[in-house]
Amino acid sequence: MNEAHTLAGAYALNAVDDIERARFRRHLDQCETCALEVAELTETAARMADLTWDEPPPGMKDAVLARIAQTAQARPGRPERAGRARAAGASGWRRWTMTAVAASVLAAAVGGTVYAVQEQRIEREQDRLAQVEAIINAPDASVRSEPIGDTGTVTVIGSRQRDEAVVMLDGLPEPGADRAYELWLGVGDELTSAGVLAADVGDGTAVITGYGEADAIGVSREPAGGSPTGAPTEVVALIAVD
């Protein structure tokens, strides 16, 4: 049993954080016997719910039946990564959030604050928008959003199939004179720069590539132009992605 696999129990109990969960799922993708054990441990953990029975609130059944009567069902067999037995819990949440988030990301992009980074330097505004829209509308797009400080939010909408993600920084504190926010792709324990935003701004939308294998997206505060060392100087957010 390798070291990663000691997390099987905590994973089955949902007692891991988002980054650990994403990493552990990647481990499961490569280990069939581990996936079987985890399926059994998850099944076992769920039996603990047998002890929690409580009288549902009156009226809840009618409310739920009324809601499902107006809710379309997901199409079967949506491709998910092999070995991922339990992704369904998050998918509805993701889709619901998607609608709200996509609107704000597009609004920001229309505002002209798109900074295409890495190899994807795109000159024309409508091409930038088309690129953002294509990622948001990708069939496998998923969204993660995290608050930063009192007013800021970092939102990541990524498509593994397209190997791309839109990262939106909204309302972050200004990074300071001659300083800038830099984006990072986290794969395993490695963080690789995914581009630097313009100096002195706390808002921006960037398209990054290399998302296909990412476990996490990081944001750091750096001297203008990016980290002098190739490693993040001051990490302000590390967002796990499924």
**Which CB, 76 or 230, lies closer to another protein?**
76
Minimum separation from the CB atom of position 61 to another protein (A)? 6
Minimum separation from the CB atom of position 15 to another protein (A)? 4
Residue 15 interacts with another protein (CB under 8 A)? Answer: yes
Residue 99 interacts with another protein (CB under 8 A)? Answer: no
Minimum separation from the CB atom of position 18 to another protein (A)? 9
Residue 47 interacts with another protein (CB under 8 A)? Answer: yes
**Triad 242, 116, 134: Cα angle to 5°:** 55
Minimum separation from the CB atom of position 88 to another protein (A)? 5
Q: Which of 55, 119, 123, 189 touches another protein by CB under 8 A?
A: 55
Residue 68 interacts with another protein (CB under 8 A)? Answer: yes
Q: Which of 19, 26, 31, 86 touches another protein by CB under 8 A?
A: 86
Residue 82 interacts with another protein (CB under 8 A)? Answer: no
Minimum separation from the CB atom of position 72 to another protein (A)? 7
Residue 65 interacts with another protein (CB under 8 A)? Answer: yes
Q: Report d(CA 167, CA 155) in Å as an integer.
A: 6
Residue 140 interacts with another protein (CB under 8 A)? Answer: no
User: DSSP per residue over the chain, as a string?
Assistant: --GGGGGHHHHHTT-S-HHHHHHHHHHHHT-HHHHHHHHHHHHHHHHGGGGG--PPPTTHHHHHHHHHTT-PPPPTT----TT---THHHHHHHHHHHHHHHHHHHHHHHTT-EEE-TT-----HHHHHHHHHHHHT-TT-EEEEEEETTTEEEEEEEETTTTEEEEEEESPPP--TTEEEEEEEEETTEEEEEEEPPTT-S-EEEEEE-GGG-SEEEEEEEETTS-SSSS-SEEEEEEE--
Minimum separation from the CB atom of position 165 to another protein (A)? 21
Residue 189 interacts with another protein (CB under 8 A)? Answer: no
Binding residues for another protein, rule CB under 8 A, total: 55
Q: Report d(CA 204, CA 172) in Å as an integer.
A: 9
- Footprint on this chain of another protein (rule: CB under 8 A): 6-10, 12-17, 36, 39-57, 60-61, 63-65, 67-69, 71-78, 85-86, 88-93
